[in-house]
Structure 1
Amino acid sequence: MEALNKSFFLFLASRPSLDRFAKRWGSKFGADKIVGGESFEHAVPLIQSLNSQGLRVTVDHLGEFVASEAEARERTLECLQTIRMISAHDLNSQLSLKVTSLGLDINHDLVWENMIQIMDEARKYDVFVTIDMEDSSRTQATLDLYKALKKQYSNIGTVIQSYLYRSDQDLDDLNEVKPNLRLVKGAYKESAEVAFPAKSDVDHNLKLLIKKHLLNGNYTAIASHDDAIIQYTKELVREHGISKDQFEFQMLYGMRSERQLELLSEGYTVRVYMPYGNDWYGYFMRRLAERPANIAFALNGLLKK
């Protein structure tokens, strides 16, 4: 049943007609409960509120798979403006981005030029940037781009997905650059040729990746709402004497807010992933596909006035 639910929501995520409908009626379907607003300006007071509670943030302008160079440059300008506003408002926030939105599928020189602009601005304003990971067909290109940028910039990280068979080897390959990584289960529809079909294997592999990356001495963001994964991390760091300064927990904006504050009260660093923009539909469907409990959350948000 869980696999069926995941396939169903990932199928819905790929429907352009539903995406157009969602952009028009997003707030009616609870989008405002999981998205920080249609613009970064709308997100600023929400970030300030989270910061006042001690929570850190990373923001992501929703959207991917641009079709033209003009769109990619427009998305780049959005990232530059967001970096400047993070600094201007003195927000404890990082920036997350998808390189398909910056031209990865169009031209290598284009995405490189756009990333250099963003990273120069991020270094100027001391803002950390994470390159989000997308589907497996883009994994190698994304990691190649990250490794090249890491040679020039220290304030950059990326994401490894535990549902891919290749991820353990990717950790080994990246270790030479001492990467700052967000470790996640993964939320795209993938075939059994490249990804573990069973949730139990995905969970087990995430634990292995967390352990390897932490024991390699690298900064680790554990991005999961799963209490078993959180508890595993707590026990692991206690057993090996790993400092709380070497890792953080990350959770999605609007989900498990009480748990975020509980972890914060226990002395852990907690970062909230806050997307913004009106292109929220694909993001929302992937969240529903990731975790059955998110379906109940969404329905609850829909029925509440």
Structure 2
Amino acid sequence: MSLSRKIVLSVAGNKLVSGFIKKYGMKMGAARFVAGETLKEAIDQVRLLNKDGLVVTLDHLGEFVFEESEALASTQACLDVLDAIHESGVTSNLSLKMTSLGLDLSKEMCLKHMRMILDKAREYDNFVRIDMEDYAHIDVTMEIFDELKREYGKHVGLVIQAYLFRTVEDMKRLESEYEHCNLRLVKGAYMESPSVAFPNKADVDQNYLKIIDMHLLSGHFSAVATHDDMVIQHTKEFVKQHNISHDQFEFQMLYGVRPETQRALVKEGYAMRVYVPYGNDWYGYFSRRIAERPANAFFILKNMFRK
């Protein structure tokens, strides 16, 4: 972890700072990265993105669940998202973290909640993306995904992280076992032991390109989640070289990050999906966006002192 990232996350953990940002942050600039605190605000933003040709995945923010009632509330929020997408007619799917659905409380509870969500997604012919979390959750996440994949088929997909040693073998298994294996390919954002993950950025970057190529060639749908021009260009050249149809993959970026590039890709004829988070529990997500790119802090400071 870089020094600047450590400093930002340390400051973000300060009670005085967090209290101030939580009170005024949305007005000062958090709204650049978070689509609002309410579902209605989020749907309004999705509608605007759709008008520019962008498709969306919505995520109700929430990370720490300690009670079954909290897990059920998070589950209901996901159901509400699917209802709102269907009723509004916007083009969006749903992304979620299974820890918010009670995974740390019990596997059975999480499975029950996931089935409630996927029943509705299948009813609406929509799609749910399961986020991959830290290494400690990978095995149970894979177990649950396998069970749900057999039941819900094309309506559920997974995130795969390039920085893990095991990733290529995991992908080979998934690609061979399932007819529809829609994977979101990312580099990975958690701090992991060098015994399970590549410690050097150059190795992660190399493995990321490797798994993009691998999944594109598999014939399954690939979601290439990146803001990196090099990765974007590599993907463009690879699909052209191998005559891979544009409907077999999409680029994905975060809401508020490189919006001009997002729209430029749409104009070039590529599918571009925007990850749109919303909800009251936005502070942790917002802090990580600042930590990833400390230049974003200047954007916030500018808004703080704007007359």
User: What range describes the TM-score normalised by the shorter chain of this pair?
Assistant: over 0.9
Q: What's the CA shift string for 1:205-239, capped at 9, x where partnerless?
A: 11001011111111000010000110110111111
Aligned to 1:27: 26
Q: Give the equivalent residue in structure 2 for 1:241.
A: 243
Matches for 1:139-288 after TM superposition, within 5 Å: 139-153=138-152, 154-175=154-175, 176-177=177-178, 178-288=180-290
2:66 partner SS: coil
3-state DSSP class of the match of 2:147?
helix
CA drift of 1:186 comes to: 1.3
Letter in 2 for 1:172: K
What is the distance in 2 between the residues matched to 1:19 and 1:193? Answer: 34
Indicate how the Cα distance of structure 1 residues 13 and 236 shifts in structure 2: closer, same or farther if over 3 A, else same: farther
Aligned to 1:104: 103
Count residues with an aligned counterpart: 301
Q: How does 1:113-132 map to 2 (within 5 A)?
A: 113-132=112-131
Shift of 1:46: 0.9
Are the aligned partners of 2:249 and 2:271 in contact in 1 as well (CA < 8 Å)?
Answer: yes
The Cα shift of 1:268 comes to 0.1
**What is the TM-score of this pair, normalised by structure 1?**
0.93
- Alignment pair present for 1:68 and 2:73: no
**Displacement of 1:9 after TM fit?**
4.4
1:74 and 1:17 map into 2 onto residues whose CA distance is 28
Match of 2:137 in 1: 138
1:12-91 equivalence runs, <5 A = 21-91=20-90
Partner Cα separation in structure 1 for residue 18 and residue 167 of structure 2: 31
Task: Determine the C-alpha separation between the residues in 1 that align with 2:168 and 2:290.
Answer: 26
Contact 1:188 1:286 survives alignment (8 Å): no
Task: Give the Å deviation of 1:146.
Answer: 1.1
| 1:193 shift after superposition | 2.2
Cα deviation, residue 28, structure 1:
4.6
Look up the SS of the partner of 1:286 in the other structure: helix
Closer, same or farther in 2 for the Cα pair 1:113/1:230, shift >3 Å?
Answer: same
**Secondary structure of 1:152 counterpart:** helix
User: 2:203 is aligned with what amino acid?
Assistant: D
SS at structure 1 position matched to 2:151: coil
Tell me if the contact between 1:35 and 1:274 (Cα under 8 Å) persists in the aligned partners: yes
Structure 2 Cα separation of the partners of residues 13 and 205 of structure 1: 31
Mapped to 2, the partners of 1:187 and 1:25 lie a distance apart of 27
Q: Deviations over 1:160-210 (max 9, x none)?
A: 111122211111121112410100111122222222222111111110010
In structure 2, what residue type is equivalent to 1:88? E
Q: Is the 8 A contact 2:128 2:157 kept in 1?
A: yes
> 2 CA distance for matches of 1:15 and 1:150?
41
Gapped regions of structure 1 (runs ≥ 5): none
Once the two structures are superposed, what CA deviation does each residue of 1:53-75 show, in whole Å capped at 9, x if it has no partner?
Answer: 11000010111120010000011
Cα deviation, residue 23, structure 1: 2.9
Give the alignment's Cα RMSD to 1 decimal.
Answer: 1.9
**1: CA distance between counterparts of 2:100 and 2:58?**
15
Q: Percent identity?
A: 49
Q: Residues 257, 212 of structure 1: CA spacing in aligned structure 2 closer, same or farther, 3 A cutoff?
A: same
> In structure 2, how many angstroms separate the alpha carbons of the residues matched to 1:7 and 1:169?
32
Instruction: Give the Å deviation of 1:22.
Output: 3.8
Secondary structure at the aligned position of 1:197 is classed as coil
Looking at structure 1, the residues matched to 9 and 195 of structure 2 have their Cα atoms a distance apart, in angstroms, of 18
Contact 1:160-1:182 at 8 Å conserved across structures: yes
Unaligned runs of 5+ in 2: none
Matched residues in 1 for 2:141 and 2:12: separation?
22
**131 and 15 in structure 1: CA distance in 2 versus 1, 3 angstrom threshold:** farther
The answer as to whether partners of 2:161 and 2:187 remain within 8 angstroms in 1 is yes
Contact 1:98 1:134 in 2 (8 A): yes
- 1:65·1:105 contact (CA, 8 Å) conserved in 2? no
Tell me, what secondary structure is at the counterpart of 2:2? helix
Answer whether contact 2:58 2:92 (CA < 8 A) is retained: yes
Residue number in structure 1 paired with 2:4: 5
